[in-house]
């Protein structure tokens, strides 16, 4: 995140440096501790010190996140397969200034992004969040679809999600996705158009929406389009308003 963007934060990962945290026992809930080393090149040390969190999960290392803002509605932003949280950071900072608690994170080495999302949501709930929105791009779209039920999410936004990625089977998980969901894809984004349409069709959610925008942009790149920014903002305002 550039210095011009620095504001407030609310949700996910942080880096490996600093004092080690004790692993929780298998029966204990994940624990969270501050993280010292910046978890991404877009994060400066001051921002890391203010917002960095490392969530220890028994036997699986740590989910490292930045959590910004205040309020009881939290929004978790899940990365694409490049695991670059910097793509989401400006959006997370913006939302954190509008009454949301927001989180960005770096996937752990478990190759199960949905499990990381659930661990982060659990931590957010322990620290006061009562309403949860999940927003994911590409592989992150699969992560939020697969995590939604376990995380008891109130709303889901996916951008350019495939049917499946790594161990995450979004095509199966979406069949149990009953909360309000926004499915978005660029019209020229090749195979992702069909996968997004199929996920939308398979969702039993009463309140669901499919936006196919005239663009070849993929995943977080879609957020550069004002029409997508406005649609996501309106959707979250309706189904997961800031509190």
pLDDT for 14: 34
pLDDT for 135: 98
Residues in the chain: 243
Q: Which two tokens stand for residue 153?
A: 């999410």
Q: Which two tokens stand for residue 16?
A: 């490996």
pLDDT for 59: 63
pLDDT for 60: 60
The domains located in the chain, with CATH, are: 66-239 (3.40.50.1820)
Burial class (CB in 10 A: 0-12, 13-18, 19+), 109: exposed
What are the pLDDT digits (tens) for 9-23? Answer: 333 333 333 333 333
d(CA 153, CA 120): 12
- List residues bridging with 13 in a β-sheet: 65
pLDDT for 111: 63
**Which residues, other chains included, contact 101 with Cβ-Cβ below 8 Å and sequence gap of 6+?**
10, 11, 67, 68, 69, 70, 71, 72, 73, 74, 75, 124, 128, 129
User: Are 162 and 173 a contacting pair, CB within 8 Å?
Assistant: no
Helix (H) or strand (E) holding 228: helix 226-239
Residues of the chain below pLDDT 50: 1-30
pLDDT for 62: 85
Residue 4 burial (CB count, 10 A): 7
């Amino acid at each position: 995140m550039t210095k011009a963007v620095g504001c407030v934060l609310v949700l996910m990962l942080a880096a490996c440096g600093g004092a080690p945290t004790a692993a929780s026992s298998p029966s204990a809930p994940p624990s969270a501790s501050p993280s010292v080393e910046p978890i991404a090149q877009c994060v400066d040390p001051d921002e890391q010190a203010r917002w960095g969190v490392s969530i220890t999960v028994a036997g699986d290392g740590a989910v490292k996140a930045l959590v910004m803002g205040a309020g009881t509605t939290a929004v978790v932003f899940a990365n694409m397969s490049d695991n670059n949280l910097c793509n989401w950071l400006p959006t997370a900072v913006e939302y954190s200034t509008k009454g949301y608690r927001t989180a960005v994170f770096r996937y752990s080495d478990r190759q199960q992004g949905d499990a990381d999302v659930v661990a982060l949501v659990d931590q957010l709930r322990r620290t006061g969040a009562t309403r949860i929105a999940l927003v994911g791009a590409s592989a992150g779209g699969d992560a939020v679809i697969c995590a939604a039920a376990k995380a008891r999410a109130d709303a889901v936004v996916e951008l350019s999600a495939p049917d499946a990625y790594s161990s995450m089977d979004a095509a199966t998980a979406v069949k149990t996705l009953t909360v309000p969901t926004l499915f978005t894809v660029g019209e020229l984004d090749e195979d992702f158009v069909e996968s997004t349409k199929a996920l939308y069709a398979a969702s039993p959610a009463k309140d669901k929406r499919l936006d196919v925008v005239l663009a070849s942009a993929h995943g977080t790149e879609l957020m550069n389009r004002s029409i997508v920014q406005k649609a996501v903002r309106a959707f979250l305002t309706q189904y997961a308003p800031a509190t």
